[in-house]
Amino acid sequence: MTGIDPGRLDVMLARERAAWTAARPKAVALRERARRSQLHGTPQHWIHQFPPPVPLVVDRAAGARLYDTDGHEYADFGLAGTAALWGHNHPAVVAAVREQVDRGSVTLWSSEDHVWVTEELHRRFGLPFWQFAVSATDANRFALTLARAATGRRRVVVFNHAYHGSVDESLADSVGVEFNDVDALDQALAARDVAAVLAEPVMTNGGAVIHPRPGFHAALRDLTRRTGTLLILDETQTIPAGPGGCTGELGLEPDLITMGKCLAGGIPAGVYGMTDEVAAAATRYTESGDGGLGSTMASGPLAVRAMRAVLGDVMTDATYAHMKRLAVRYANDVTTVIAKHDLPWHVGRLGGRVSYAFMPEPPHSASQMYPPVGVSVREALWLYLANRGIVLNGMSGAALMSPMTVESDVERHGVLFAEAISELCDHG
Ligand code: PMP
């Protein structure tokens, strides 16, 4: 990459790694202890792939901030990869959860909250019928099962490098095509043997925001309809786009929608919604037996009460206005620094989500991001910022704005980002 000096990058990486570890003796000790009972010494294996040499050990999280066991405080722009999108202790969610814990966390029965939530999901996302799951992974798994049952077909089309959760076994028989490539999609669906296209409406994985080209969604809908293929939109990461996700923002007409993560404000939850036609097939499919759908822990009153609080009190126009305003500021700060140093990078934004990728033009498909470039730059920037109290997404470097994010933290990010890039660039 022009502009970034490899020697300076090495210096920064070594210095920031050492500084991180030196300032966190408690985290180092806990990691050693964890290594004896956890894979890689981390509770989920992928945490060890995040940039810091020793994982962040969180003592507590509040607002859009994290507090670690070694006494450091961070502005959290990672927000648990969208799961903590509304902040770590949004008052509306905390009040609802506190109240419900005393009234029972899980039963296998209905409550008025369930109906309120499914009616509200209908109002926001346009699909009339909904079911509950424990996570977005589960929601995708169940949506694929239903799509196969409804169409009598097995194959599934996904876009290359998309991530839809750890649903590997249900993605067996899948075909990958490039996002935004209408001809490839046409070919993949031509044999009329594909049950569903499973897609993010705007791709967010891989460290970039990949927007659909004009006309792409219309073509995707048209091709799927013409070939009897169901369209499943995974809105898990695109909820920051607006109060009805991208489906609402872009006026999309999927057959099924899946989501999870932030939906219950931090309590595990997933949902999948469907049209009248899919619901009719699903009703027949589930007439007797479980059909491989559902979970005892899905739709417990605790999760559903939290969902009601999120949908009713948190996902408001005012919340989105705040998130978007801060995201625009964050994106402008990064764009200004990139322009000043003439770096061949670009910034992508989707509502309250911002990320930058190390290529001059926004990519049209996720394959353009592979093999990944700028991995060490991303790591150095992550560590530089984290050592100074700013945490980005550990996997992609993306930033999310929550209703609890404060503008002074966004401003501070801009200042630190500018400092880090100045240090890294070769000034001749
Ligand atoms: N869909 C998308 C688009 C995702 O990015 C993810 C996780 N990053 C999932 C589904 C799965 O979510 P979970 O791991 O919470 O099940």
Question: Measured in angstroms, how far is the CA atom of residue 272 from the centroid of ligand 1?
Answer: 13
Nearest to 356 by CA among 407, 392, 401: 392
Give every CB contact of residue 196 below 8 A, 6+ residues apart in sequence: 143, 144, 147, 148, 151, 156, 157, 229, 230, 231, 232, 255, 256
pLDDT in the model for residue 2 = 58
Query: 324-338, pLDDT tens digit by residue?
Result: 999 999 999 999 999
Instruction: Write down the residue that tokens 């700013």 correspond to.
Output: 390
Q: How far is the CA of 423 from the centre of ligand 1 (A)?
A: 35
Residues 207 and 134 in one domain: yes
- Which pLDDT band, with edges at 50, 70 and 90, does 428 fall under? low
The residue from 298, 314, 330 where one domain ends is: 314
Determine if ligand 1 sits within 6 Å of the CB of residue 396: no
Residues 283 and 400 in one domain: no
pLDDT confidence of residue 208: 86
What is the C-alpha separation between 229 and 48, in angstroms, rounded? 39
Name the domain boundary from 314, 345, 378. 314
297 and 363 housed in the same domain: no
* Within a domain: 1: no
Regarding whether 243 and 111 lie in a shared domain, the answer is: yes
* Average pLDDT of span 392-397: 93
Rounded percentage of the chain residues whose pLDDT exceeds 90 = 93
pLDDT one-digit tens code per residue, 24-41: 999 999 999 999 999 999
Nearest to 385 by CA among 346, 418, 353, 354: 418
Q: How far is CA 21 from CA 14, 28, 314, in A?
A: 11, 7, 37
Q: What is the mean pLDDT of residues 291-303?
A: 92
In short, whether 148's Cβ falls inside 6 Å of ligand 1 is: no
Choose the final residue of a domain: 314, 341, 376: 314
- Residue 23 pLDDT > 70, yes or no? yes
Does the C-beta of 136 come closer than 6 Å to ligand 1?
Answer: yes
| C-beta of 205 in contact with ligand 1 (< 6 A) | yes
Q: Tell me how far the alpha carbon of residue 338 lies from the centroid of ligand 1, in angstroms.
A: 30
pLDDT tens across 73-109, in order? Answer: 999 999 999 999 999 999 999 999 999 999 999 999 9
Question: Span 123-145, mean pLDDT?
Answer: 98
Q: Which residue is closest in CA terms to ligand 1's atom 10? A: 164
- Residue 302: left (phi > 0), alpha (psi -120 to 50), or beta? alpha
DSSP letter at 79? Answer: G
Q: What is the CATH number of the domain that holds 381?
A: 3.90.1150.10
For the segment 197-202, the average pLDDT, to the nearest whole number, is 98
Full domain range(s) for residue 285 = 91-314
Question: How far, in Å, is the centroid of ligand 1 from the Cα of 165?
Answer: 4
Atom number in ligand 1 closest to CA 165: 11
300, 190: one domain: yes
Say if ligand 1 is within 6 A of residue 260 CB.
yes
353 within ligand 1 shell (Cβ under 6 A): no
Task: Assess whether the C-beta atom of 365 lies below 6 angstroms from ligand 1.
Answer: no
Identify whether residues 140 and 106 lie together within a single domain: yes
Q: Which two tokens stand for residue 402?
A: 């929550």
Same domain, yes or no, for 358 and 407?
yes
For atom 9 of ligand 1, which residue has the closest CA?
A: 165
DSSP letters spanning 154-180: -EEEEETT---SS-GGGGTTEEEE-TT
Region of 54 on the Ramachandran plot (φ > 0 left; ψ -120 to 50 alpha; else beta): beta
Q: Find out whether 378 and 390 touch, Cβ atoms under 8 Å.
A: no
Q: Is the sign of the CA dihedral 388, 395, 368, 226 positive or negative?
A: negative
Task: Give 234 Cα–ligand 1 centroid separation in angstroms.
Answer: 9
How high is the mean pLDDT of the chain? Answer: 96
Tokens 């949908």, residue? 311
Centroid of ligand 1 to alpha carbon of 82 (angstroms): 9
Q: Mutate which of 164, 205, 395, 396 to test ligand 1's pocket (most atoms within 8 Å of Cβ)?
A: 164
Compute the distance between CA of residue 188 and CA of residue 128 in angstroms, rounded to an integer.
Answer: 29
CB 45 within 8 A of CB 359: no
Q: Whose CA is nearest to atom 8 of ligand 1?
A: 165
Protein residue with least CA distance to atom 1, ligand 1: 164
Residue 124 and residue 243: Cα distance in Å, rounded?
7
Name the residue at shortest CA distance from atom 11 of ligand 1. Answer: 165
Is 287 in the same domain as 196?
A: yes
pLDDT for 377 equals: 95
248 C-alpha vs ligand 1 centroid, how far in Å? 20
Structure tokens at 101: 């814990």
Atom of ligand 1 nearest to the CA of 261: 15
Per the domain annotation, does 135 fall within a domain?
yes
Q: Average pLDDT in the 199-215 region?
A: 92
CA–chain centroid gap for 15, Å, is 31
Residue 296: predicted pLDDT: 93
**CA separation for the pair 112, 119 (Å, rounded):** 11
Amino acid 426: pLDDT:
75
Q: State how beta strands 399-400 and 353-357 pair.
A: antiparallel
- Look at residue 56 in the predicted model and tell me its pLDDT: 96
164 lines ligand 1 (CB under 6 A): yes
Q: What 3-state class would DSSP assign to 72? A: coil
Give the mean model confidence (pLDDT) for residues 359-367.
Answer: 92
Please determine, for residue 168, whether its predicted confidence score (pLDDT) is greater than 60. yes
Q: What is the pLDDT of residue 171?
A: 85
CATH of the domain at 184: 3.40.640.10
**Neighbouring residues of 362: CB distance < 8 A, sequence distance ≥ 6:** 208, 209, 210, 211, 346, 348
Q: Is 237 in the pocket of ligand 1 (CB under 6 A)?
A: yes
What does the DSSP 8-state code read for residue 310? Answer: I
State the total domains in the chain: 2
Q: Which residues of 56-86 are buried (b: 16+ CB within 10 A; e: fewer)?
A: bbeeebebbbbebbbebebbbbbbebbbbbb
Q: Please check whether residues 192 and 134 belong to one and the same domain.
A: yes
pTM: 0.97
Same domain, 286 and 340: no
